[in-house]
Amino acid sequence: MRSMAPESKTGFTLVEVIITLLVAVILGAIMMQYSGSALIQSSTPIKRLKINTALQAAADQIIGAFRQAAPSDSAAWSNFQSSIGAAGTDQNNAYGEYQVLFNDFIQFDAAGNEIADVYGTAPENTLKVVIAGANDDPLTFLLVR
């Protein structure tokens, strides 16, 4: 005689598989919503770095031209200053592409603080240049003779 042992079930039922897939799809949609915006915004630092690198290259070109020209008299200083561009203008010249925020001679007091030159009487020996790129991050440098 054969013994009648109960049959054991192995595997998953169709309902269990469907519920598991449904939960996985919902969790995937939630994760995609959060990671999707992170993926889109991940290119922002790279774009900013590219703009800042181009701005630094323009500043290096200006500084290199200054060192090469070594302007010593007022006319040479004035010509060099005008080659950079007037304040408030966009430039695309031999130095690169940038916006000039400030381009004027400055002076300092005894404590080393910058003095506003409201009368245009600052001695022409320290030229302050502030330029910005497309993302409006400024880059400031001083050229001293």
Mean pLDDT of the chain: 85
Q: Is residue 43 part of a domain?
A: no
pLDDT at 3: 62
Structurally, the chain folds into a number of domains equal to 1
Q: Is residue 80 part of a domain?
A: yes
C-alpha span between 63 and 29 (Å, rounded): 52
Q: Is residue 90 part of a domain?
A: yes
pLDDT beyond 70 at 2 = no
pLDDT beyond 80 at 138 = yes
The CB density around residue 96, as the number of other CB atoms within 10 Å, is: 18
Spatial contact of 115 and 107, defined as CB atoms under 8 Å apart: yes
